[in-house]
Amino acid sequence: MGKDKRKVIVTCAVTGAIHTPSMSPYLPVTPEDITRAALGAAEAGASILHLHARDPETGKPTQDPAVFEQFLPRIKQSTDAVINITTGGSPHMTVQERMLPATTFKPELASLNMGSMNFGLYPMLDRFAHFTHEWERENLEKSRDLVFKNTFQDIETILRIGNENGTRFEFECYDISHLYNLAHFVDRGLAKAPLFIQSVFGLLGGIGSHPEDLMHMKRTADRLFGQSYQWSILGAGRSQMSLAAQGAAQGANVRVGLEDSIWIAPGELACSNADQVRKICQILTGLSLDIASPDEARALLDLKGADDVNF
C-alpha cells in the first residue's frame, strides 16, 4: 500500500534505415507522414519519439538537416514528447553525415551506436521480391559486405559534441562488447549517469533474440553500471513485442516502432506506429506497470528540457 508503481518509458522509433517503402505502405516517408506518425505515437502513449528522415521522393534515408527542419518544429509544437534525433542514420553514410542533424538541432536526446559491427540486412531479399526504387535492393545487397563504422574516435567525437550542447544519449548496444565500450567512456568521464542503455536484439551481426541473450545483456549491464542506468529493450522484427514484454517484467523500459518492426502480429503489417505503441502499452498495463509521461521520462533521464533545443 502506498508504494508507487514503476514508470516505464515507451520510445517509438517512427521510421529508420532498416525497412524500405516497398516493404510496407505504412512506413512514414515524407515530412508530413513523419509528423503525423510521430504525433499519433505520442497520443498513443510514447514519451520519447526517435526520429530519422527520408528523401520525400524516393524514401531513401537522409541526414540532410533541411529535411529534418520540415518536421521537427511541427512535432515539437504539437506534443510535449521528448524528441530523440538519430546519429546512426544509415550504415551506408559517413559519420560526418550522420552527426549533422544532432549537431544542428541540439536535441534533448540523440541515439549513439556503441561499436562497429557487421550489419546484415540482405536476408530480407528472400522475403521481399519487388522494390519500387533501385536503392532499396542495392542497400540490402551491399549489407553482405558492410561494416557499420562506429570507432572509438567516432563515438568520442559525437559524445563531445553532445556534451557541449547539453544533449544526452540513448546508447544503442547491439552486443555485449558495446556495453564494455560504454563503460570505457564512463571511466573517461565522457558518458555520465543516468545512462540510457538501449539493448538491441535480433539484427544479423549483433546479439540474438533468445531470452537468454536478454538475460546476458542485463547481467552484464548490472555488473558494469549498477544502479546508474536506465535499461530499455529493442527487439527487431518478430521479436519486438515478446522481448519488450520480457524486459519490462524484469525492470526495462521499451522501444517499439516501424523502424524496428513493420509487423503488429505474425504475417500482419502494422498500419501505424500508434498501433504498436498501443499494443505495448496494453502489455505494460497488464503487467501492472505505469507508462511514464514525457516529463517523467525527462526526470528519469536528466534531460535539459524542450525549451533548450535548436528547433
Is the residue at 55 inside a domain? yes
Domain presence at residue 166:
yes
Determine, yes or no, domain membership for 195: yes
CA end-to-end distance (rounded Å), the chain: 43
Distance, in Å, from the CA atom of 172 to the CA atom of 25, rounded to the nearest integer, reads 27
C-alpha span between 259 and 203 (Å, rounded): 12
Domain contains 44: yes
Number of domains in the chain: 1
Query: pTM for this structure?
Result: 0.95
Q: What is the DSSP string of the chain?
A: --PPPPEE-EEEE-S-SSS-GGG-TTS--SHHHHHHHHHHHHHHT-SEEEE-EE-TTT--EE--HHHHTTTHHHHHHH--SEEEE-S---TTS-HHHHHHHHHHH--SEEEEE-S-EE-B-GGGGGT----SSHHHHHHHHHGGG-EE---HHHHHHHHHHHHHHT-EEEEEESSHHHHHHHHHHHHTTSS-SSEEEEEEES-BTB---SHHHHHHHHHHHHHHHTTSEEEEEEE-GGGHHHHHHHHHHTT-EEEESTTT-SEEETTEE-S-HHHHHHHHHHHHHHTT-EEPPHHHHHHHHT---GGGS--
Residue 84 lies in a domain: yes
The phi, psi pair for 256, rounded to 5°, reads -130, -175
Decide if 144 contacts 169 (C-beta within 8 A).
Answer: no
**Does residue 1 lie in a domain region?**
no
Q: What is the pLDDT of residue 5?
A: 77
At residue 3, the pLDDT reads 56
Residue ranges making up the domain that contains 204: 7-308
Q: Is residue 2 one of the residues assigned to a domain?
A: no
Amino acid at 293: S
Which pLDDT value is given to residue 129? 85
CATH of the domain at 61: 3.20.20.70
Instruction: Answer positive or negative: Cα dihedral of 83, 87, 90, 96.
Output: positive
pLDDT-flagged residues of the chain (< 70): 1-4
Number of CB atoms found within 10 A of residue 267's CB = 7
Cα(168)–Cα(140) distance, rounded to whole angstroms?
Answer: 31
Q: Please report the pLDDT score of residue 4 as a whole number.
A: 64
189 domain residue, yes or no: yes
